[in-house]
Structure 1
Amino acid sequence: MLRLRAVSLLAACSLVVAGAGVPSATAAPGPLGSSAAAEDEWVPTPRPERAPQPWPVLTPEPTPTPSPRPVPTSSPVGVWGAGEGEQPLIHIHADGTLGGNDGCNAFGTTWRESGDNSIIIETDEWISTMRYCGWEWFPAARSGKVDGDVMTFSDESGKVIGTLTRQVTETRS
């Protein structure tokens, strides 16, 4: 029954959309409610004064994003570099990974905290491109120590081999 109603409604809508007319209001009714005028005498359906307005687009209200907590300045997490747009550039992530580019080779490895604002750079997970461009200091780095917005990197013997400044502070969620 529902399907029959839907088909009837669809047929009625098709006639209206196709511009079918309606019987003249001035035609006199005949037997059984039919028009006394000829059956082919139809008056077109009047057109609306203005086009129908489209349905409004309903969009949900945006949910506010909670403000991220800033990473403490003593944290190694962040982007460290020689200066804006300069190399080397190192991204140290909160998940224990780091990656960057020393101006010649791209690299990545893992790190762990060692206390006193220091990190140990793991070399057994080291990956890198192998272009030869002269001496790049970061592959020799085995530790880093944060002092404000400066991180000092040292080699295996503890000798300082480079320093980078915090470029962009990442946030932890």
Structure 2
Amino acid sequence: MKRIAALLLVLVAALGLTGCATSPGQDGSSVVGQWGGVPDGAPVLVFSGEGSFTGNDGCNTLTGSWKQANDVVTLENMATTLMACEGVDTWLSRASTAKIEGMNLTVFDAQGGEIGVLAHEGTKN
């Protein structure tokens, strides 16, 4: 009986992870992988296939979860460090959504204003 309960728990957990599944862009594109980060120290977002992301704006570290519907990516539950770095534009910490446009990820703030663009670096996690 304990074995069946353990199997059911694993099945429920696996089904829960599929809840992080996304709808790829109209051209089949997925946000999974690395966007930005070149040269070293440049703003970067890295999206995992499990629905989480990490990033860095050149000063602060970011982490959270994401969902994709067609070409639009919504960043959720974002947490960021709040270090003050002289001469660093911390625009990425204001990210709320992003849109895949070919090999670029255009990033928008909570008001829908474009705040930056990250190029896809071809890294798949």
TM-score when normalising by structure 1: 0.51
1:96 aligns with 2:51: yes
1:77-101 deviations in Å (ceiling 9; x for gaps): 1101052424111111111100011
Displacement of 1:73 in angstroms is 6.5
Q: Count the aligned residue pairs.
A: 98
The RMSD of aligned alpha carbons is: 2.1
Deviation string, structure 1 residues 47-84 (Cα, Å, up to 9, x no partner): xxxxxxxxxxxxxxxxxxxxxxxx98721111010524
**Aligned partner (choices 109, 112, 115) of residue 158 of structure 1:** 112
Distance (Å, rounded) in 2 between the aligned partners of 1:143 and 1:85: 24
Structure with greater helix percent: 2
Kindly report which structure 2 residues correspond to 1:44-123, keeping only aligned pairs within 5 A, or say none. Answer: 74-81=29-36, 83-113=38-68, 115-122=69-76
- 1:132 alignment partner in structure 2: 84
Q: Does the 8 A contact of 1:73 with 1:148 survive in 2?
A: no
- Compare relative contact order (CA 8 Å, sep 6+) and give the higher one, 1 or 2: 2
Query: Following the alignment from structure 2 to structure 1, what is the Cα–Cα distance between the partners of residues 65 and 111?
Result: 20
Q: AA paired with 2:84? A: Y
Structure 1 residue ranges, 4+ long, deviating more than 6 angstroms after superposition: none
Contact 1:109 1:121 in 2 (8 A): yes
- Structure 2 letter corresponding to 1:127: A
**TM-score of the superposed pair, with normalisation by structure 2:** 0.69
SS of corresponding position for 2:119:
strand
Unaligned runs of 5+ in 2: 1-23
* Structure 1 equivalent of residue 100 of structure 2: 146
Percentage of pairs with the same residue = 30
